[in-house]
Structure 1
Amino acid sequence: MMENIENHREHTTVDIDKAWVTSMRQKLSATSSEPASKDQHSIYIVPQHIYETDEKAYEPKIISIGPYHHGKQCLRTMEEHKWRYLNAILSRNMDLSLENYLAEIKKMEVRARSCYSESINHFESNQFVQMMVLDGCFIVELFLNSEAKMAMKEEEIFLLKKEADEDPIYGTNWMLPLVAHDMLLLENQLPFFVLQFLFKLVDKSSTPSSLSQLALNFFHNFLPRKNGIDPTDEDRGKILHLLHLFHSGFLPVKKKALDFLSYYYYIRPAPPKLIPSATELKAAGVKFKQKKMDMGSFLEVDFRKGVMEIPHLSIYEFTNSMFRNFIAFEQCFPISGAHFTRYTILMDCLINTANDVAILKQNKIIEHMMGSDEEVAILFNRLGKGVAVDFEDCYFYYLFNDVNQYCKTNWHIWRANLVHRYFRNPWTIMSLVAAILILTLTFTQTFFSVFSYARPP
């Protein structure tokens, strides 16, 4: 059989279409063999399997930033405001003209284009550069306006309200929060180095020294980062975009790494078993306590001697969107870590029902502005859908393992049942104490009766 095949190969001739080969060679030539630069592919389209879980969480509501949502009919209203803000930026430094801004951004066009993971070749050069300048100047001017208004005195704020019609973004209660929301979407980003360069062109005599701090101050008004950690000066040079900057502000100060033996003997053979819900843990004797965050992150959760310490988490209207875009960023850009992904898995384990939310609320771990506790449970139950979790070098590995080991101990379960059944109110406690006292007296009486019988006086 093999001989027939070999003979067939020797006597068979195949003609290869030269045009076909040329086409393939062109595609090979177009594919660069050089390693990707540090700026390449940092702004992504949300993967379809994640996007389908909650489409509205990833779509801008009022403004487009960058190429992915540029030109959408529902977002065109804000384009007029971008031109007004560009004019305001130009008036801040009269030594520079519009031509200067366009020329400088055009020099970094290739680098800026490389940041987007999807093809944006349909934007010709001038159109792309105009979009970078227009969107970037809007963001910088918005930050500067916000900082200036925060520093105003009460009488100045009163006068400002009279002029609110001149800037509808600040003249309404609903527009500015929506703009802030849209600026933290994964698909609605500009490369951070573009924003930094535009910021440097503004007259520094009247502006803060750090764009990073300016941005964090702006977003803090809408999405508080209570005791969150700001990136260090060294880290700021590595920021990719505004979502990355805000994401970095929540990360723990110290990453708890696993030692090599734990990694080899425990994580490699099998990932940690997920922990029970808050209701089940409470029944097993686990206590919940709010963890103080003097200089920590709400992502840091500890478990010691049957007590789970979880930092306070406030859930606002935009919490769902913020978490989803953080997770999508971590899924697309693994170098950023997986802190929000793992935290979401932890909270999804703890929260299954409204009763679980109630337990965490009672211990001042969660507060929310949702309609009901059930809505909070649904939020966390859906956050992890379509998300890939890598438990290797997992921050919560030891926590999951310790909690499960604790729950296996019968003594903890027995003690929890005892407390739950007999120590829930003072009358039950008094009844139990009375019963123990009666048993003690009865035992004492019986002992002396037997003793006197065995050894009469």
Structure 2
Amino acid sequence: MADRNTDDIRICIPITEMTSTMVRLPVYMLEGNNRGLFEPRVISIGPYHRGHESTLIMEAHKEQVLEGFFQRPGNVSRQEYIADVTANCFQQALRCYSGNTDGYTAEMLMRDGCFIIELLLRWNKKEDVHDNYVRVMSNSIYYDLLLVDNQLPFFVLTMIFSKVKGHINENHTTRLLDLVIDFFNHEGQFSWANLGQYSDSSNACRVPHLLEDVCQVRHLLDLQYKFVVGRNMGNNDNEPTLSDSCPFSLCGNIRHTPPSVPLGIPGANELQDDGVRFHVSKNKLSKMFDVTFKRKTMRIPHFKINFGSKILLANLFAYDQILFHRSNQSTDQPGNNVGPVTSYVVLMNALINAREDVVVLQREGILDNLLSNEEEVASFFNNLGRCTLVDVSKHRYTSMFHDVNKYWRNKFNCCRYFAIFSMKHCRNPWTCLSLLGAILLLLISSTSMIFAILKFARG
């Protein structure tokens, strides 16, 4: 797989399948606090955000970076790149966008593509961009390049890279895929998605199951989506996971199944008050989407939430819905097909309704909150949960939701009340000591009373 020259393939996905794959997000998804998650802060790529107020300053600095690209020894002229883009991929690229592309020219497409390639090359060689503004804004550029409607078709980048490739490496061994992996998955980025092992591009050949479909990459966000989902998908056959085993026979003989079980579940704080325990998955390599509920315990992998992870999760969430919406439309069988990222957001939105829920998950090590306060975390998941583009009545955790509700609504489950008692009276050593003292005092009082009664009876 490592020897496969994917950079010589310009358009691997049939153009009919690429048509309208880059969807412009609806306005309601950009309302309120969500706007900063989906709109570029520094740089616009593609036609959708062309002329956006926040990206105007970068246009002049983008030109300086492009000058460095065209000044590479042996590289061809700007006009030749424009001619190649016009002849080979401009019309195909426009068909990939479902929104308005008026005014977006082949030269603009070339400039965007060459700018991205130059950034990747300079990052890989640890070269300076020779522009202070671009250097200072590099972190914002990183996130802007992963916005769902701020993308270029990957075959455009492939074509541009194939032209400049001969001038950057005498042995022609550098691959575009390696440059992208090295740039987007370096140390510290995507740590919450268990992608640390991809921080070095030399590891690319170690994950052939993710690279089998490399020629099916649609754009930069699509490639990151494949890595995140491919790396973080475990076995989840949507079968019930709750074990009703109980040491008391009464619980096994008496069942109370509500006539209708709600589709949602209570928040984390309420569930904990009713005896549900929350634990972070102890295995550091546990899959991000592997959430289980067994024996009154819900195990959730660790999630570090900061400004960057908010942007990444939000755009993976939006793109996940776009992919599965197209998948549902292309199948003849009716039904709902929800992706893993959407399912994860549905789960977190259900568990987190207020700051108290965030505190519960944070106390158990599930959430590592690097935002200003717990209210901001709750607001993020609640606002994101309202931005669903597909029906989420059935998702990856539907069976788990059913099991949680069955436990929560079963009034005859004595184990539930024992768990509630333990949660309220055995949470820390002081409450345990107080409880033991009260029990000891009760035993002493009862013993004294019994001896007094026996003494009185004998007299």
Does 2:219 correspond to 1:241? yes
Does 2:183 correspond to 1:218? yes
* Cα distance in 2 for residues equivalent to 1:100 and 1:286: 65
The answer for the alignment partner of 1:83 in structure 2 is 63
The answer for the alignment partner of 1:181 in structure 2 is 143
* Matched position secondary structure for 1:37: helix
* Cα distance in 2 for residues equivalent to 1:187 and 1:271: 38
The answer for the alignment partner of 1:108 in structure 2 is 89
Match of 1:117 among 76, 98, 113: 98
Identify if the C-alpha distance between structure 1 residues 69 and 370 changes in structure 2 by more than 3 Å, giving closer, same or farther.
Answer: same
Match of 1:192 among 137, 147, 154: 154
Q: Deviation of residue 443 (structure 1)?
A: 7.2
Question: CA contact under 8 A between 1:257 and 1:393: conserved in structure 2?
Answer: no
* Cα distance in 1 for residues equivalent to 2:236 and 2:293: 14
1:174-203 residue CA offsets vs partner (Å, 9 max, x unmatched): x11111121111221100111122222223
> Which structure has the larger Rg over C-alpha atoms?
1
Q: TM-score, normalised by structure 1?
A: 0.75
* Residues 233-272 of structure 1 aligned to structure 2 (within 5 Å): 233-251=211-229, 252-254=232-234, 256-258=236-238
* Cα distance in 2 for residues equivalent to 1:408 and 1:209: 59
Identify if the C-alpha distance between structure 1 residues 52 and 427 changes in structure 2 by more than 3 Å, giving closer, same or farther.
Answer: closer
Aligned pairs, how many? 394
* Cα distance in 2 for residues equivalent to 1:72 and 1:391: 33
The answer for the alignment partner of 2:21 in structure 1 is 42
Question: CA contact under 8 A between 2:15 and 2:92: conserved in structure 1?
Answer: no
The answer for the alignment partner of 2:361 in structure 1 is 360
* Cα distance in 2 for residues equivalent to 1:421 and 1:392: 33
Question: CA contact under 8 A between 1:255 and 1:395: conserved in structure 2?
Answer: no
* Cα distance in 1 for residues equivalent to 2:262 and 2:224: 30
Identify if the C-alpha distance between structure 1 residues 271 and 320 changes in structure 2 by more than 3 Å, giving closer, same or farther.
Answer: farther
Match of 1:56 among 30, 33, 36: 36
Q: TM-score, normalised by structure 2?
A: 0.75
The answer for the alignment partner of 2:132 in structure 1 is 168
Identify if the C-alpha distance between structure 1 residues 272 and 418 changes in structure 2 by more than 3 Å, giving closer, same or farther.
Answer: closer
Question: CA contact under 8 A between 1:313 and 1:367: conserved in structure 2?
Answer: yes
The answer for the alignment partner of 1:309 in structure 2 is 299
Q: Deviation of residue 432 (structure 1)?
A: 3.5
Letter in 2 for 1:143: L
Identify if the C-alpha distance between structure 1 residues 416 and 197 changes in structure 2 by more than 3 Å, giving closer, same or farther.
Answer: same
Letter in 2 for 1:417: I
Identify if the C-alpha distance between structure 1 residues 115 and 63 changes in structure 2 by more than 3 Å, giving closer, same or farther.
Answer: same
Match of 2:426 among 409, 423, 426: 423
* Cα distance in 1 for residues equivalent to 2:133 and 2:213: 32
Q: Deviation of residue 442 (structure 1)?
A: 7.5
Does 2:109 correspond to 1:132? yes
Q: Which stretch of structure 1 is more off in the superposition, 356-365 or 46-55?
A: 46-55
| CA RMSD across the alignment | 3.5
- Flag structure 2 segments of 5+ consecutive residues without an equivalent: 1-13, 199-208, 240-258, 328-337
The answer for the alignment partner of 1:298 in structure 2 is 288
Question: CA contact under 8 A between 1:186 and 1:328: conserved in structure 2?
Answer: yes
